[in-house]
């Protein structure tokens, strides 16, 4: 088991990967630097290997797929995840590692948004999207993560081996943040200095398509982790619609003792039944979710036992 593992997912980062590997080897000489190449066509893997990194491959395209492979294959007491585009300073890594190893933090978030991100980043819709995602998740999941979309994080062994990677692409950071919030993981923020990509280095993140995937991921995970809230809102909307259309019928009936709109009355009844069904679905799923949390706590104990066994070998 490694003491510290630096994880760098890469796709066509030949212009910057050598500097990233060199910087982390200088700041963290005791760490093992892993570069996982994701079908690069510009010899990123060869450059990383010459710079001293351990190079491995994930042939299914997408950052989420790469991180899934990393988390499965690498055992370490502390993990640092960064991007290969030289936008994150290696000098912040020791502080992040210290929080994991000495304070038992499960996930340390490299917070760009509290420092230089909005001045360094030249893509205004990215700025807006990051702020929207941060506010949405902190509101919906009652947490205080300062930068949801950052690719610079530190993890404990416990987090890495208990995190179920479902996303295939750039929405993986959102999934990590929501998982940590829902499972009551110990999360802290470290403010880092963000720098924009150097000239000639191109971002692989599509502002609109990847942005919509992130928002869809938030909605999906909210439904999964907060089913009573999600289905409760659906039930409330349906109930209001049903009552809203029923009131005129009741008023008319009180005046004439006649029901002039039987089809509307029937629809109101079915909509109210759907509201009731949604409410009880939320209750049932909330009970299942609570049981999953209990099982998760037991799984953490098994993961800790596995870590101790591997450290003894």
> For the whole model, what pTM was predicted?
0.84
Higher pLDDT, 131 or 97: 97
Lowest mean pLDDT among 17-21, 63-67, 90-94, 169-173: 169-173
Helix orientation angle between 93-103 and 17-27, rounded to the nearest 10 degrees: 50
- Residue 239: predicted pLDDT: 97
pLDDT digits (tens, 9 = 90+) for 119-136: 666 565 666 777 888 899
Give CA–CA dist 180/191, Å, rounded: 19
Calculate the average pLDDT of the chain.
Answer: 90
Q: Looking up tokens 């007491």, which residue turns up?
A: 77
Give CA–CA dist 129/219, Å, rounded: 15
CATH number at 15 reads 3.90.550.10
Same structural domain, 267 and 207: no
> Which domain, by its residues, includes 33?
2-225
Same structural domain, 10 and 130: yes
**Stretch 195-204: mean pLDDT:** 68
Same structural domain, 148 and 286: no
**Is it the case that residue 200 has pLDDT exceeding 80?**
no
Number of domains in the chain: 2
Of the residues 225, 253, 276, which one is the last residue of a structural domain? 225
Of the residues 192, 225, 258, which one is the last residue of a structural domain? 225
Same structural domain, 259 and 272: yes
**Is it the case that residue 211 has pLDDT exceeding 80?**
no
Same structural domain, 79 and 161: yes
pLDDT digits (tens, 9 = 90+) for 33-56: 999 999 999 999 999 999 999 999
Same structural domain, 11 and 135: yes
Same structural domain, 194 and 183: yes
pLDDT above 70 coverage of the chain, percent: 92
Same structural domain, 81 and 64: yes
- Residue 131: predicted pLDDT: 81
Same structural domain, 183 and 232: no
Q: Which SS3 state, helix, strand or coil, does residue 179 take?
A: helix
Decide: 201 and 11 in contact? Cβ < 8 Å: no
Instruction: Give the pLDDT band of residue 155 (cuts 50, 70, 90).
Output: very high
**Is it the case that residue 207 has pLDDT exceeding 70?**
no
If you ran DSSP here, which 8-state letter would residue 222 be given?
Answer: H
pLDDT above 90 coverage of the chain, percent: 65
Give the residue ranges of DSSP H helices in 115-226.
117-120, 124-140, 157-162, 172-182, 209-225
Instruction: Give the pLDDT band of residue 231 (cuts 50, 70, 90).
Output: very high
- Residue 122: predicted pLDDT: 57
- Residue 69: predicted pLDDT: 95
Higher pLDDT, 269 or 123: 269
Of the residues 182, 204, 225, which one is the last residue of a structural domain? 225
Instruction: Give the pLDDT band of residue 77 (cuts 50, 70, 90).
Output: very high
């Amino acid at each position: 088991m490694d003491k510290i593992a630096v994880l760098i997912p890469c796709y066509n980062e030949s212009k910057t990967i050598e500097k990233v590997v060199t910087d982390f080897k200088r700041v963290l000489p005791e760490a093992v630097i892993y570069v996982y190449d994701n079908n690069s066509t510009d010899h990123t893997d060869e450059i990383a290997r010459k710079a001293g990194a351990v190079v491995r491959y994930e042939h299914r395209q997408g950052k989420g797929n790469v991180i899934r492979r990393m988390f499965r294959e690498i055992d370490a007491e502390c993990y640092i995840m960064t991007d290969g585009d030289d936008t994150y300073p290696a000098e912040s890594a020791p502080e992040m590692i210290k929080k994991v190893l000495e304070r038992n933090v499960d996930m340390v978030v490299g917070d760009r948004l509290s420092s230089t991100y909005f001045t360094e980043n030249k893509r205004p819709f990215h700025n807006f999207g990051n702020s929207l995602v941060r506010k949405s998740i902190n509101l919906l999941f009652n947490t205080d993560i300062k930068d949801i979309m950052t690719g610079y994080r530190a993890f404990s062994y416990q987090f890495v081996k208990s995190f179920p990677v479902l996303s295939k692409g750039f929405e993986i950071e959102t999934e990590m943040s929501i998982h940590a919030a829902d499972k009551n993981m110990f999360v802290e923020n470290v403010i880092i200095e963000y720098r924009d990509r150097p000239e000639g280095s191109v971002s692989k993140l599509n502002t609109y398509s990847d942005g919509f995937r992130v928002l869809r991921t938030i909605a999906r995970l909210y439904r999964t982790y907060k089913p009573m809230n999600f289905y409760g809102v659906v039930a409330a909307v349906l109930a209001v619609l049903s009552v809203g259309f029923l009131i005129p019928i009741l008023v008319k009936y009180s005046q004439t003792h006649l029901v002039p709109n039987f089809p509307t009355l029937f629809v109101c009844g079915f909509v109210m039944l759907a509201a009731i069904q949604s409410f009880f679905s939320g209750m049932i799923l909330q009970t299942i979710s609570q049981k999953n949390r209990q099982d998760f706590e037991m799984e953490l104990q098994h993961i800790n036992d596995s870590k101790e066994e591997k450290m003894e070998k």
